Chains A and B, each alone.
Chain A
Amino acid sequence: MKSTKSLYSYGFLLPAGIIFFIFFLLPTMVSFFFSMTRWTLTDWEFIGLDNFIMFFKESSLNIGFRNTFIYAVMTSGTKVVLGLLLAVLLTSSIRSKDFLRSVVFFPTLISTIAVGITFSYLMHPSRGLINTALAALGIQGPNWLGDPALAIYSVGLVDIWKGVGFATVIYIAGMMSIPADYYEAVDIDGGNAFRKFWHITLPLIRPAMNSVIILSFIGGLRTFDLVWTMTKGGPGFSSDLIASIIYKQYQGGFYGLSTAGNVILFVIVAVLAFPLYRFLTKREVDL
C-alpha cells in the first residue's frame, strides 16, 4: 500500500518559500551587514558600528526610541481594553449590535492616508471640528498636532480610532467560540453577569486577547504611514518614530544609517515582542 505521503510533495512549499526568501528573508539577512557600512546601493564602505553610535548619540535620531515605545504601549494598551469592552457590548443582547459592529469595524478598511488626512483637519487648532465641539462645552481645546508635547499622543488617538474595530472583531470571534453550556453552568449556580465575564469569558478569550496584544503592539512598533501623513514627525522631531526616521534617512540618501534603523527596530521587536509572545501563549487555557 502506498502511503499518503506521496500526495504531500515538499515541492508544494517551493513557490511560497522562494518568494518569501528572496523578497523578505534575504533583505533581512543582508541588512545586518549593510547596517555597518556607508552605502550607496552600488558601493559600500565598512565602518563598523558607527551608524549605531550615531543613532544613540544624535537626539534627532534617538527621540524615535522613546516615541516608538510610548506609541506602541499607548495604542496597544488602549485597544486591548477598549476592544474588549466593545466586544462585550456587541455580543450582548442589544438590538442594534449588527449596526454598531459594522460601524466600529469600518474604519479598519479605510486607508490610513485617508484617515490621516481627515483627522488632520478635524484636529485643526481653531477651525477643526473637535476643538469647535470642545469650545461649545466651554473647554479650550489644545493644538493637537502643533504642540510638540502632544503631537505623538494625538496621532496615537487616531490610530486607536482606526484600529479598535479590528481588536473588537478578534475578541468577538473568540467569544463566539465559547460553548454556551459554560454560561448555563454559571446560571445554574446562580451567578450573575459579572461572574460569567470574570470566570468564563475572560479566561477563555485568552488566545484572542493574546492575538490582540501581539498584533497591536507590533503594529504600534512598526507604524509609519499614519504619523507620516499627519505630522511628518514634527513639529521638529517631536513625533518621529523609528520607522519615520528610517524613511527620512533613506530619503536623505543615508542608506547605511537607514538600514541601521531597520536593524534596531528588528532588535527591539526581538527583545520585546518575542518574549511577550512566549509569555502570553504559555499561560493560555485550552477550551
Chain B
Amino acid sequence: MRKSGKIIAELFAILLTVILFIIPFYFILINSFKNSREASKMNLQWPNAFQILENYREVIQAQDYMLIRAFFNSAFITVASIIILVFVCAMAGFIMQRRKSKPLTIVHFLFLAGLMIPPAVVPTIWVLNGIGMFKTMAGLILIEVAINIPFAIILYSGFVATIPREIDEAALVDGAGSLNFFFRMILPLLKPVTSTIIVLTSVNVFNDFVNPLYFLPGAENATAQLTLYNFMSLYNTSYNLLFADVVLLTVPPLILFLIFNKRIVAGMTAGAVKG
C-alpha cells in the first residue's frame, strides 16, 4: 500500500514537471519548425508543413549574417572574460586565504560588497569613456570580469582552505619563487573549482543582456542576446523565425549543461554553500 502510494506521488511529480518545464521547450521547438501562418496560432499542434531548413537558414542569413557575427562576438567575449577571470581570481583567492591581516579584511569586505551592490551604470560609461574603452569589446570584457570577480574569489579562497599548507612548506624547501610556485603547484590543484567557475560564468556572460546593452551598443558589435532582443521587434509577426532564433541561442548553454551537469552540483557543494 505504501509502495503504490509512493509510485503515484512520483508519477504526479513527473507529470507536473512535464507540464511546467517540458511543454515550454516543446512549444519553442515545434513552432520553430512551422510556417509563419501555422506558428501564429501559438499552439502545440504537429505542423502540417515542416519548414525546418528554410526557417533556420533565413534566421542565420538575416541582416547579412548578423547572427553568426553576434555568436562569434559573444563567444569571444565569453572566452576572454573567463581566461582573465580565472587567472586573476585564482591568484587573489589564494592570497586572501593564506594571509590574514587588517588591510585584507577590508579588501575582503569590498569584494563581498561587490556581490550585493548594483553596478552604477552611467558612471561606468563615464569611466570607460575616460580611458577610451566605451563601445569596445575590451571594455565589455573587463566589465564582465569585474562583475564576476567577487563570486570567483569567494569560491577560490574557500577552496584554497582545503589545500594543506605542507605543500607550501615543501615548495619553500625546494626554493621555488612565488610565481613559479603558484602556477606550477597551486593552480593545477584548483582545477575542480576552476571548472565550476568556468561553467557558471560562461553561461552568465554568454547570456548577459544588460551589460552589452549599456556598454556595447551599435550593430557591428552586437552580441547574441542583443541580436535576439532586436529580432523580437523584427519578427513580431513571424514567430517561427523568432523561435528558431531562440533555439539557436539555447544550443551553447545546452551543450555546456550536458557536459557539466554533474559538476555543477558538485562544485556548489565544494564552494558556494560553505562560502
CB distance from A252 to the nearest CB of B (A): 12
CB distance from B267 to the nearest CB of A (A): 9
Whether A179 sits at the interface, judged by CB under 8 Å, is no
Kindly list chain B residues whose C-beta atoms are within 8 Å of the C-beta of A77.
Answer: none
B-contact bits for A109-120, CB 8 A (1 contact / 0 none): 111111001110
Which one of A30, A39, A111, A207 has the greatest number of beta carbons of chain B within 10 Å? A111
A20–B178 contact, CB under 8 A?
no
B129–A218 contact, CB under 8 A?
no
Task: Tell me the bound Cα distance from A96 to B94 in angstroms.
Answer: 40
CB distance from B72 to the nearest CB of A (A): 17
B99–A8 contact, CB under 8 A?
yes
Number of A-B contacts (CB under 8 A): 256
Task: Tell me the bound Cα distance from A132 to B110 in angstroms.
Answer: 50
B209–A112 contact, CB under 8 A?
yes
A4–B44 contact, CB under 8 A?
no
Tell me the residues in window 126-157 of chain A with beta carbons closer than 8 Å to chain B beta carbons. Answer: 127-129, 132
Whether B189 sits at the interface, judged by CB under 8 Å, is no
A-contact bits for B20-52, CB 8 A (1 contact / 0 none): 111110011000000000000111100000000
Task: List the interface of chain A (C-beta within 8 A of B).
Answer: 2, 4-10, 12-13, 15-17, 19-20, 22-28, 30-31, 34, 39, 41, 89, 94-96, 99-107, 109-114, 117-119, 121-122, 124, 127-129, 132, 161, 169-170, 172-174, 176-177, 207-208, 211, 214, 218, 221-222, 224-225, 229, 243, 246-247, 250, 255, 258-259, 262-263, 265-266, 269, 273-274, 277
Task: List the interface of chain B (C-beta within 8 A of A).
Answer: 6, 9-10, 13-14, 17, 20-24, 27-28, 41-44, 84, 87-89, 91-92, 94-96, 98-99, 107, 110-111, 114-127, 129, 131, 142-143, 145-147, 149-150, 153, 165, 168-169, 171-172, 176, 178-179, 181-182, 203, 206-207, 209-210, 213-214, 224-225, 228-229, 232, 239, 242-243, 246, 249-250, 253-254, 256-257, 261, 264-265, 268-269, 272-274
